Structure 1
Amino acid sequence: MTKKFNGKVVVVTGGTSGIGLATAKAFADEGASVFITGRRQETLDTAVKAIGGRVIGVQGDMAKLADIDRLYDAVQQQHAQIDVVFANAGGGEMMPLGAITEEHYQSTFDTNVKGVLFTVQKALPLLKDGASVILTSSTTSISGTPAFSVYSATKAAVRNFARNWILDLKDRRIRVNAISPGVTETAGLDHLFGGSEQAAGTKDYLASLIPAGRIGQPEEIAKAVLFLASNEASFVNGVELFVDGGQVQI
């Protein structure tokens, strides 16, 4: 490892599984002090052990502002500044237009939009000038998917946060970029498709539509996040980086 994040402080929300877990581990392996969040304490404890290095887990739901405050209180107890925020916590369920309920709409927007907004806003007093913020969007930000309109709308909103926040934060030289994964091998994907057995056939079909010929791995998304957070991306600002095997480029 190059330890390129040695001495850096990194916050990863939704860091207990999938892309968040892989990214938190990648940051820790590169020497960062990492704070992760998760809703369930047991899962959070398991993730902390799996990540290793200098990592602290803070239980919380990023759709709740009090939980976000508790996250940054925990950071501030040990560090004066934050170098990287990866606002990754999010999720959604498939729901066709005729079946969408107010509860489904509210919970999806609270988690994916409200949570991202206030995760970044409440980090501002601690964010170092010249820091990097990465938001988790999705290929659904530009590509239609049946029965996935509410989730897709939230991810389009997240992408547009990056466009606007680079203007709000330009005087502090804080870069904001969005990462948009394609179909990625995670437990959340299996849950979305109705369990591992049913998901296997769906994933095989989706892989056939991807020019790379396969679905992605969480570690591949993590590498892209670390690039956006690094000095190598010092002139990359406001972009939506698709890590999808070419899926939405055709």
Structure 2
Amino acid sequence: MSKVIVITGAGVGLGRAIAKLFAGGGDQVVLLGRTFSKVENAAAEIGDAAMALQCDVGDPESVNQAFAAIAERHGKVDVLINNAAVFEPFLLQNATDQQIFSALNTNVAGPMFCIRAAIPLMSGGAHIINITSESVEVELPHLSVYQATKAGVERLTKSLHLELESSGIRATYVRAGAMYEEGKTWEANPEDQMAFGKAAMERGFNLRERPITQFDSVTQLIQTLVNLPADLHTVGVHLHARRPV
């Protein structure tokens, strides 16, 4: 039976790749993104199986409006994939209020708002998947705020697993490593990028030489989680990029 898959941050990168995979398998996908033109273009590439909605996950009213539209069109949510995130390297001592609030609102409050809105549309067998980051444990520099937000989402997922267990709704976090897609650019201040690269090298991380995973490879794991038998579950999955042999 066709599932309704809701994906945040679905205009580019991993979110778009996930949407394409599930739509290709016969599911209905809902693409949420702060920039409507990006999710609109991604949905147009997919076709009739895709629904594009403008949604700033860090804004509860925007989230409520998006899920009201999902309820009107589909009446249910089978899978929610919280993929939207702000990744911006900086030192906390130099951070602006906006940088801190942007990371907290999008990376932590965003999944909370979306989960809260999705649960009333979910039933037994539904699945919440939260995308986190290898940087929760990998000691990369200039990422204290980002690392804290992703660690918070992992703790949230573990608590949700228990909170929702009686309803039959599963919750899983996927800790992903560095990923790459042809044509995707890193939207960050060039000076911050250079400072991040220099600090990483000083800490022993050569970012140019670290292995990188293709987005399409990670989508296969997401599909496996969604298709787990009813008597199986995992709260957390840790992925690491590796160089093919």
Counterpart residue identity of residue 143, structure 1? V
Counterpart residue identity of residue 206, structure 1? L
* Structure 1 spans left out of the alignment, 5+ residues: 1-5
Residue 27 of structure 2 corresponds to residue 32 of structure 1: yes
3-state secondary structure, aligned to 1:162: helix
Residue 154 of structure 2 corresponds to residue 159 of structure 1: yes
Cα distance in 1 for partners of 2:52, 2:136 equals 30
Cα distance in 1 for partners of 2:47, 2:215 equals 17
Cα distance in 2 for partners of 1:121, 1:83 equals 14
Residue 6 of structure 2 corresponds to residue 11 of structure 1: yes
The match for 1:74 among 69, 78, 91 is 69
Report matched runs for 1:234-245 at 5 Å: 234-239=231-236, 241-245=237-241
The size of the alignment, in residue pairs, is 235
1:96-118, CA deviations, whole angstroms, 9 ceiling, x for partnerless residues?
A: 13212322111100000000111
3-state secondary structure, aligned to 1:225: helix
3-state secondary structure, aligned to 2:118: coil
The match for 2:85 among 77, 83, 90 is 90
> Once the 2 structures are TM-superposed, how far is the Cα of residue 119 of structure 1 from its aligned partner?
0.5
1:51-88, CA deviations, whole angstroms, 9 ceiling, x for partnerless residues?
A: 23410000110101111111111111122221101011
Q: TM (normalized to structure 2)?
A: 0.87
Contact kept in structure 1, 2:5 and 2:28, CA below 8 Å: yes
Cα distance in 1 for partners of 2:229, 2:21 equals 16
Structure 2 match to 1:3: none
Contact kept in structure 1, 2:76 and 2:121, CA below 8 Å: yes
Q: TM (normalized to structure 1)?
A: 0.85
Structure 1 match to 2:51: 56
1:203-227, CA deviations, whole angstroms, 9 ceiling, x for partnerless residues?
A: x943634xxxx31111111111111
Q: Judge which range, 96-105 or 82-91, deviates more.
A: 96-105
3-state secondary structure, aligned to 1:244: coil
Identity %: 27
Structure 2 match to 1:45: 40
* Structure 2 spans left out of the alignment, 5+ residues: none
Cα distance in 1 for partners of 2:87, 2:177 equals 15
Contact kept in structure 2, 1:227 and 1:233, CA below 8 Å: no
> Once the 2 structures are TM-superposed, how far is the Cα of residue 232 of structure 1 from its aligned partner?
4.4
Cα distance in 1 for partners of 2:163, 2:7 equals 22
Cα distance in 1 for partners of 2:18, 2:123 equals 20
Contact kept in structure 2, 1:166 and 1:237, CA below 8 Å: no
Cα distance in 2 for partners of 1:29, 1:75 equals 20
> Once the 2 structures are TM-superposed, how far is the Cα of residue 234 of structure 1 from its aligned partner?
4.9
The match for 2:217 among 210, 217, 220 is 220
Counterpart residue identity of residue 75, structure 1? I
Q: Judge which range, 52-61 or 226-235, deviates more.
A: 226-235
Counterpart residue identity of residue 217, structure 1? Q
Change (3 A) 1:104 1:193: closer
Counterpart residue identity of residue 226, structure 2? A
1:127-159, CA deviations, whole angstroms, 9 ceiling, x for partnerless residues?
A: 121211100110012222111110110000011
Cα distance in 2 for partners of 1:216, 1:19 equals 11
Structure 1 match to 2:141: 146
Counterpart residue identity of residue 207, structure 2? L
C-alpha RMSD over aligned residues: 2.7
Residue 177 of structure 2 corresponds to residue 173 of structure 1: no
